[in-house]
Every structure is written in C-alpha cells, then in structure tokens.
Chain A
Amino acid sequence: DTAVSQTPKYLVTQMGNDKSIKCEQNLGHDTMYWYKQDSKKFLKIMFSYNNKELIINETVPNRFSPKSPDKAHLNLHINSLELGDSAVYFCASSSAGQDNSPLHFGNGTRLTVT
C-alpha cells in the first residue's frame, strides 16, 4: 500500500563513488520531484518531472542526473559523490492540473558520504 517508495533507505558511501536512488509511486500521479533536506532540516527542490519530461531544474551540480523511465518512476543518479552531498533525499509526487494538489512524500534516503 506504500504510495511513494524510495530505495535504499540508507546509503553510506565514499567520496568519488557513483550511486543511485530509486523512487516509485503508485498513486497514478503524473508529476514527480526530488527534494534535498540538509542537516538543518531545510528542504530544497532539486528536480521535477511531468510525464517523463523535466520541468523544474534548480541550480544543482550536473553530477546529479534524474531519470524518469515512466511517469511512475523517478530515479536520481549521483556521480563523483562529495562530502557536501550528505543529506536526506526525498522523492515526492503530485497530480498536475490541480493547482492545490499536495505533494506526497516518500520516507527519504539518508545519504552519508565519508
């Protein structure tokens, strides 16, 4: 019954490695997002996809590359990981066409870069 699911929940890796986080939603939504939450709990949008098309791309290093194979999935690949990438990454989804449509969030992926 999980609406927005992310894997893995925890990810510990060394600097310079490449890693991916996967996200899937079963809500029938057509818009998906990646948010980054830093150690002070500040949430900042990174990307948004609508029907597999990139619609929001905030100022994010190009080491971060989202991929949406279909509207139910949005994965995040990170190359050459740096210490500053350590954070909790949240996937979310919503329904386009409804201005007040809330975002539904996954439980997050805690990335620790050592």
Chain B
Amino acid sequence: AQSVTQLGSHVSVSEGALVLLRCNYSSSVPPYLFWYVQYPNQGLQLLLKYTSAATLVKGINGFEAEFKKSETSFHLTKPSAHMSDAAEYFCAVRTGTASKLTFGTGTRLQVTL
C-alpha cells in the first residue's frame, strides 16, 4: 500500500520568506512522487515530479523538492515566497503505471505582506 502524509494543513509565510511544505511517503516499492498546486476554482497543475534520475528536483515557479529515501520525505521548498504562490499544494505518490495516484490531504499556503 502507498500513502503520503502532509504535515500542516495550513502554512503561512511572509512575502520573500522561505517556503517549506512537508511531505512524507510510505511505499513498499520505490515510489514516484509528485507535487501539484491548485489555485482557487481551478484544477491541479503539476509543479514537479521525482523520476529517480536526481534527488533534487526543480519545478515550475521556482519550486524544488528533495527526495530523501532515509527519511521517506519529499519536501517542497521555494527560497522566496510571492503573493501569487498562495494556493493549495498536494503531494502525491504512485508505485507504477497500473497503480493509482494517491494524494495527501493538502497544505494551504498563505502569503502575507
């Protein structure tokens, strides 16, 4: 069975501050990991994905995530938050093409002035 846990349903940062959204996974086989962003009243947009080619993955809008097998983590970071980053962020795991994509419960990012 596969699962992801997102710590913190709500994270608030100041504009310009570091963004850190936490994701831990559970999988009996090597996982494929993804981060998605959902803006209000929109669908989910892929931010980045872990392909096993590199542990540090760079995505769109300045986000990146680091795969740490020893910690079973795939935390999402951005050095400097922007107001436009305010959205819901979802971590997701998949263990093969025949398996479903399982989402975490999401983290709402609030960016304040």
What number of A residues sit within 8 Å (CB to CB) of B? Answer: 28
Given contacts A41-B105, A43-B103, A99-B97, contact A105 B43 (CB under 8 A): yes
Confirm or deny: B54 has a beta carbon within 8 angstroms of a beta carbon on chain A.
no
Cβ of B44 and Cβ of A90 under 8 Å apart?
yes
Cβ of B32 and Cβ of A100 under 8 Å apart?
yes
Confirm or deny: B90 has a beta carbon within 8 angstroms of a beta carbon on chain A.
yes
A-B contact count (CB 8 A): 60
Q: Which residue of B lies closest to A6 (CB)?
A: B43
Cβ of A102 and Cβ of B100 under 8 Å apart?
no
Given contacts A42-B106, A102-B49, contact A97 B43 (CB under 8 A): no
Instruction: Digitize A91-111: 1 where CB-to-B-CB distance is under 8 Å, 0 elsewhere.
Output: 010001111111111111000
Cβ of A99 and Cβ of B44 under 8 Å apart?
no
Cβ of A105 and Cβ of B44 under 8 Å apart?
yes
Cβ of B44 and Cβ of A98 under 8 Å apart?
no
Confirm or deny: A83 has a beta carbon within 8 angstroms of a beta carbon on chain B.
no
Interface residues of A (CB under 8 A from B): 4, 31, 33, 40-45, 48, 55-56, 58, 90, 92, 96-108
